[in-house]
Amino acid sequence: MLAQAILKYLNFRPTYRRILRYKKTAPPLSQLMVPLPVKATSDPYSNVGAELTGKLDKEEVMKSLAKFYQRREIKAAAIENGIDNYIYHQTYLSFRRFCLDGDKLPVDLHITLSDVIAGACHVDSLLPYFIRHAKLSFPHLECLDDLKKISDLRLPANWYPEARALTRKIIFHSGPTNSGKTFHALERFFSSKSGVYCGPLKLLASEVFYKSNHRGVPCDLVTGEERNFASNNKTPSSHVSCTVEMVSVNTPYEVAVIDEIQMLKDPSRGWAWTRALLGVAAEEVHVCGEAAAIDVVKEIIMSASEEIELRRYKRLTELIIEDTALESLEKIRPGDCLVCFNKQDIIWATRQIEAMGKECAVIYGSLPPGTKLAQAKKFNDPDHSCKVLVATDAIGMGLNLNIGCVCRVIFNSLIKPTVNEKGEKEMDTISTSQALQIAGRAGRYGTQFSIGYVTTLKNEDLPTLKRLLSQHPEPITQVGLHPTAEQIELYAYHLPHANLSNLVDIFVNLSTVDDSLYFICNINDFKFLADMIQHVPLPLRARYVFCCAPINRKIPFVCSMFLKFSRQYSRNEALTFDWLGRQIGWPFACPNTLLDLVHLESVFDVLDLYLWLSYRFQDLFPDSSLVRDMQKELDCLIQTGVAQLTRLLINSETRTPKLQWLA
């Protein structure tokens, strides 16, 4: 039966640490360079060499060039000119082809070859022409010093003159989950004359936006997809709540709050926190996060010649690790949150719990924000029959879901797929930081569940959980950086024939980073999108913006629509609401199977992509308001599907004999 196959699949745990690794060995710079073809001149007077010395014997030319290529002195001279073995060989092949196929060689080269063949001069006399050819074939040889200067990332503090012109006061609010650190920082935000809040998620930014306006402090919302104004006439407010990538480093504020500062270490998004910390132009900068980030933040602030004030907070409620594991889902009780690290476990656990007559709220990462909030609201409602939450670690960043009714957190497993700083995929035990943040969601100050409890589903995981929760998170030593559009444009000026993916590779290869403090964030997603639309004719700046789009490259439908968006844009044709509706098959019905639900989630991601692009290309993505209305309708359909997850699973068993939806 399918259910047994699912159970077997979900209970399988690999004994090795890494299940999939994308080996990233940085190739030498020269191998990133694509040689340009060098063509013979079309000047009608370019056959003067042949008139002076006669036609060249091609067989003798080949012999002379082969002798030239093999000389150690020539190889040594080439290295002195920045030509390594790879470029040396590629240039030789191109130079030989140029000399043999070109009927009209440059006069000086023709005469020199003639003299070499006649024995009138040494074969080494070809060196200046060989080096000239190498620089034409590999243009970076002429501008290597300029490229290195552009990619010198050792002093990122100097990139933000507005912030450096201020005497900023940096205040670090350090503490675990449920300690009130963000509360105190936000109180200063609300009382300021002007301020900006930088959060890691749209839902967090939205919550601060609503909370600020509810308290009578007009506040705008800025995310990657939209800008919502507090005032009806759409005049900018003095306060802004935004996702961290969207914070302006040119606008002056009295107070800035940067939440979840430990995300500096994130291998993909860490650059955004580094940029906010160094670049936000605020008189007071309040950063909130775990103690593991204190030392590295101090180092960064010192590099900007600024000082930091440290405020430490303790957890407001007690957190108790239970002595026994749950062992069986039959022991689930009201107020429990079962934390899983993949959608398969979520679906399996939900079915098992609901089979016992207990209603579940379900939250996982790919659900739309509205659906997550609806599920959290259902779980929080004391009058609702739903008393159990099954969620991924999406609940770890607590403010965004406002879950106040978790009494006990139960880890279904302690193994989670991760991506390391090299972009390599791994299956590994969760970190101390992750364990503390997720477990910290148990219990909430000022609620009926003031004491929090935490345990595991399996007995064998409990000792590991106790060990993780008894430790302090490992101190963060490096934070992320990322090449800017301006830097890539300068590279394109020097290397006009290189494509965007190639330019980024060259930039990373040539970059100089203070690796005691910084690393370059992985650019796999950026390069994937750059390669996907390489054949689409786009201006460099537009191409760069498209490649920064936050999409999940594992979802084929989203990638397909991304390609359609770029093609339509390249033709300068508006992507209207009607055009979009035809592409995605709008309208949709309520999902009947898990595959239907997964597809609706991917469609929601496509609408998010449209809104993200409309914020940057308003002229060709004109119907953002209509698309937002479409998203609201789609969100309702997804909410209906999630509320009937068990029914969808049963339908999937009868209609889909294979485990396709587990992929």
DSSP 355-402: TTT--EEEE-TTS-HHHHHHHHHHHH-TTSS--EEEE-GGGSSGGGTT
DSSP conformation letters of 200-255 = SSHHHHHHHHHHHHHTT--EEEE-SS-EE-SSTT-PPPSEEEEEGGG--SSS-EEE
Q: pLDDT band for 658, please (50, 70, 90 cuts).
A: very low
Per-residue pLDDT, 395? 77
Per-residue pLDDT, 446? 64
CA R_g for the chain: 30
3-state SS of 469-499?
HHCCCCCCCCEEECCCHHHHHHHHHHCCCCC
Rounded average pLDDT over 627-644: 94
Rounded average pLDDT over 137-159: 93
**What residues have CB less than 8 Å from 133, skipping those under 6 apart?**
38, 91, 94, 95, 98
Reported as type and span, the H/E element at residue 414 is: none
**What residues have CB less than 8 Å from 103, skipping those under 6 apart?**
40, 47
Provide the angle, in degrees to the nearest 10, between the axes of the packed helices 107-118 and 58-70.
90
Per-residue pLDDT of 485-502, as tens digits, reads 899 999 999 999 999 999
DSSP-based three-state secondary structure for 164 = helix
C-alpha atoms less than 13 angstroms from C-alpha of 158 in its C-beta half-sphere = 4
- Provide the CA 260 distance to its chain's centre, in angstroms: 16
Residue 637 has pLDDT above 60, yes or no: yes
- The span from the CA of 241 to the CA of 221, in Å, is 5
Per-residue pLDDT, 42? 60
Per-residue pLDDT, 325? 95
Residue 16 has pLDDT above 50, yes or no: no
- Domains with residue ranges and CATH for the chain: 2-22+318-470 (3.40.50.300), 34-137 (1.10.1740.140), 167-312 (3.40.50.300), 523-662 (1.20.58.1080)
DSSP-based three-state secondary structure for 167 = coil
In single-letter form, the type of residue at position 14 comes to P
Contact 190, 217 (CB under 8 A): yes
Per-residue pLDDT, 23? 34
Per-residue pLDDT of 75-88, as tens digits, reads 999 999 999 999 99
The two structure tokens encoding residue 152 = 């010198």
Contact 516, 302 (CB under 8 A): no
Could you tell me what percent of the chain has a pLDDT over 70?
90
Per-residue pLDDT, 647? 83
Residue 165 has pLDDT above 80, yes or no: yes
- The span from the CA of 49 to the CA of 37, in Å, is 22
The two structure tokens encoding residue 446 = 């000022």
The CA-based dihedral angle spanning residues 496, 501, 506, 511, taken in that order and rounded to the nearest 10 degrees: 120
**What residues have CB less than 8 Å from 489, skipping those under 6 apart?**
540, 541, 544
The candidate with the shortest Cα–Cα distance to 599, out of 639, 556, 651, is 556
Residue 420 has pLDDT above 80, yes or no: no
Q: pLDDT band for 308, please (50, 70, 90 cuts).
A: very high
Per-residue pLDDT of 244-287, as tens digits, reads 999 999 999 999 999 999 999 999 999 999 999 999 999 999 99
The two structure tokens encoding residue 654 = 């009868």
Per-residue pLDDT, 406? 73
Per-residue pLDDT of 173-198, as tens digits, reads 999 888 889 999 999 999 999 999 99
Distances (CA, A) of 268 to 198, 485, 514, 610: 17, 17, 18, 22
Q: pLDDT band for 662, please (50, 70, 90 cuts).
A: very low
Per-residue pLDDT of 324-368, as tens digits, reads 999 999 999 988 999 999 888 998 999 999 999 999 999 988 889
User: Average pLDDT of the chain?
Assistant: 88
Residue 203 has pLDDT above 90, yes or no: no
The two structure tokens encoding residue 519 = 């690393």
The candidate with the shortest Cα–Cα distance to 16, out of 344, 413, 426, is 426
- The span from the CA of 329 to the CA of 556, in Å, is 35
Per-residue pLDDT, 344? 87
DSSP character at residue 637:
H
| Max intra-chain CA distance, the chain | 101
Flag the least confident range among 128-137, 204-213, 233-242, 444-453.
444-453
Reported as type and span, the H/E element at residue 428 is: strand 425-429
Number of separate helices (H) and strands (E) present in the chain:
27, 18
Residue 444 has pLDDT above 90, yes or no: no
- The span from the CA of 478 to the CA of 480, in Å, is 7
Contact 376, 346 (CB under 8 A): no
Residue 526 has pLDDT above 60, yes or no: yes
Per-residue pLDDT, 660? 45
Contact 645, 362 (CB under 8 A): yes
Q: pLDDT band for 52, please (50, 70, 90 cuts).
A: confident
Could you tell me what percent of the chain has a pLDDT over 90?
68
Per-residue pLDDT, 621? 97
Contact 257, 143 (CB under 8 A): no
Contact 71, 123 (CB under 8 A): yes
Per-residue pLDDT of 360-409, as tens digits, reads 999 988 889 889 888 888 888 888 889 899 998 877 665 444 455 678 99
The candidate with the shortest Cα–Cα distance to 202, out of 484, 401, 434, 406, is 401
Per-residue pLDDT of 610-625, as tens digits, reads 999 999 999 999 999 9
